[in-house]
Chain A
Amino acid sequence: MRSLQINWYSLLKRAFLWSIFLGLGLYAAWPWLPGVGAKHPRAIVVYGFSILGEVMNQGIFPAFQAEWLARSGEKIEFVSSFSGSGTITNQIILGVPAQVAILSLELDALRLVDNHVLAGPTWHDLPYEGVLNRTPFIILVRSDNPKGIASFADLAQPGVEVVHPDPLTSGGAQWAILAEYGSVTLNGGSPEEAYAQLLGIWRNVVAQASSARAARTQFENGFGDALITYEQEAVWDLGRGKLNALIVYPESTILGEHTVVMIDKNISPAERDLVEAFVEFLWSETAQRIFVEYGFRSVDETLNAANPNFGVIAKPFTVKDLGGWVNARDEIINAIWKQKVLPEVGR
């Protein structure tokens, strides 16, 4: 009699356990079960640098899906990953199946060429030589700006805590370095003064994140007095009323230009038409308007008026003013920041 009871109990327990496991398994495998869900649609694999997450997922992808559906009647899917520009470049070099990559800076595209992912600077064949949109680099400070920060020079003052993305993985960080340096040299300052400013800012860096987006999260979590970041980040939040910080426009700063790259070896002939249509779509007025809406400055300057939140930059400059990307990388990022500033800061 006693043994019978025990059997019931253990049987129940076992049934319970199994049903938990079966339930979990069923839930997990549901979309892949035969007869559930439709046939897998064609997909475009897009890798983008960090701050593109929202504009692509919420703006560009649905817009293109709608347009493509209208044009051809086909439902398509986007598979995407957003991370630091350097990170995705590294991933692409290692072989992730990205078909379209939107990189923060042309330098990363050049690395793809160096590593034989691309045959050459193929993005030059795209509209605007592959530049999708622009973002100036600005300083974000706490709402009441207690440290009274108004320029890059102020960031070099002792006692200011700066959150900065990591130049090793973040494209935005490299742009930021150029802004911190170029804003001096291109406005009559000597290289020594520029170096002093760069060093001063980097002495004040209290947190480094792997991407501009991550740096922003850190700043929002309460780290630091100031963040050097894309204007888009701030403007987009400002537009939504979600910005609980203050944008400081330096008198002179760099206009970041973001590059679109098609990775031909990951595009099968069956998908080529779709991918090409998508890339073409990126420069369409529809797409560019979406970018502006999300805080990016369009390559078509006339569209920028649509966003009232863009601030005024007195003396903007681009990487061309610094002698192009290769030069900027070798002379500024490598020769000055990496070889002089970093060791000095580390000391």
Chain B
Amino acid sequence: MTERTLSHRQRAATLLPVSLLLLVLLPLLLMPLAAIYIFAGSGGWQTFVTSLSQPDAQFSLRFSLLIAFSTALLNAVLGTFAAYVLSKYRFRGREALSVIVNLPVAIPTVVVGTSLLLLWGPIGLLGKFLDPLGIQPMFAPAGVLLAHLFVTFPYMLGAVKPVLDELEVTYEEAAYTIGASRWQTFRFVLLPALRGGLFSGTLLTFAHSLGEFGATVLVSGNLRLRTQTAPLYIFAQFEAGNIEAANAVAAVLATLSFTLFFILLRMTQQPRRSAE
């Protein structure tokens, strides 16, 4: 009898905070997300498919994915390299560099876009000299890629560097004494240890790139069929009042992001479980 009341009370004790949390989360996170799907489906399946099969919608999705793939791939290499240097080498200014490298998280993406324009744009500091040569990275896919690399760089670094930091120096040294070259050590000893971090970093980068807006809107020139990414397409269509078109792409983008997030979650939980 007492046992039952106790468990009852216990259940009530957990119920309260959980329902409170749900109450907060519902309007904050869940309902807006649901709205996207509800609106996307409101016009019926046919409207959804038509909206999605518009050439510019298709383009924006493909372009976004391509940019996200390239960003993730490039940043996996760059970020790992940066993490390796920052973690394994001791040099003057290392601390400062660590801060600088993480700066893109702190500055608004719109500022990133502006700064890129002011550097590479036709009237920018460097672009000024490139423009006459016919090299124009801004308002072109290259500019979008550049902006995305810049904005997502810290995520890759943040995923990889702690893993590297945690590895004792002797871990590498052990490989050296065994006879492994620097490359072999990296390939067979460090990289496998980094796998988890690398994977989650890549996914994070990918997801961020897929959703990037602030910097992209400035550096892309927002050209349909040329540089318009999916988020830009959504925004443009929404502003123009084509809510169905906007929502169709938004729903696809949201689904993609959910999937990625889900995989990320599973992946980060897996090694912990097997380690137990």
Contacts and interface: CB of A to CB of B under 8 A. Distances in A.
Asked if the two chains touch in their complex, CB atoms less than 8 Å apart, one says yes
Interface of A: 17, 20, 24-25, 27-32, 45, 50, 53, 77, 79-83, 91, 93-97, 209-211, 213-214, 216-217, 220
Contacts of A210: 239
B133 to A, nearest CB: 14
Given A28-B62, A28-B69, A95 B123 contact: yes
Interface in B225-272: 225-226, 228, 236, 238-241, 256, 259, 263
A27 B65 CA distance: 9
B223 A81 contact: yes
27 contacts: A17-B263, A20-B259, A24-B65, A24-B69, A25-B65, A27-B62, A28-B62, A28-B63, A28-B65, A31-B59, A31-B62, A45-B223, A50-B240, A77-B225, A79-B226, A83-B236, A94-B138, A94-B139, A95-B122, A95-B123, A95-B127, A95-B131, A96-B139, A96-B223, A211-B239, A213-B240, A220-B241
Given A213-B239, A217-B240, A83 B62 contact: no
Given A30-B62, A94-B123, A79 B117 contact: no
Given A17-B263, A29-B62, A94-B122, A213 B241 contact: yes
B66 A83 contact: no
Contacts of A214: 239-240
A29 B136 CA distance: 23
B137 to A, nearest CB: 10
A106 to B, nearest CB: 23
A250 to B, nearest CB: 24
Contacts of A31: 59, 62
Contact of A79 (B122, B225, B240): B225
- Closest 3 pairs (CB-CB, A-B): A95-B122, A28-B65, A96-B221
Given A79-B225, A94-B121, A53 B240 contact: yes
A341 to B, nearest CB: 26
A97 B239 contact: no
B241 A97 contact: no
B240 A82 contact: yes
Contacts of A53: 240
Given A25-B69, A95-B131, A217 B221 contact: no
Contact of A91 (B66, B221, B240): B221
Contacts of A17: 263
Nearest to B68: A28
Given A17-B263, A45-B223, A79-B224, A94 B117 contact: yes
A211 B240 CA distance: 9
A216 B222 CA distance: 21
B221 A29 contact: no
Given A53-B240, A214-B239, A216-B241, A95 B121 contact: yes
A36 B238 CA distance: 31
A80 B123 contact: no
Interface in B48-99: 59, 61-66, 69
Given A31-B62, A95-B122, A211-B239, A79 B223 contact: yes
A62 B240 CA distance: 20
Interface in B27-43: none
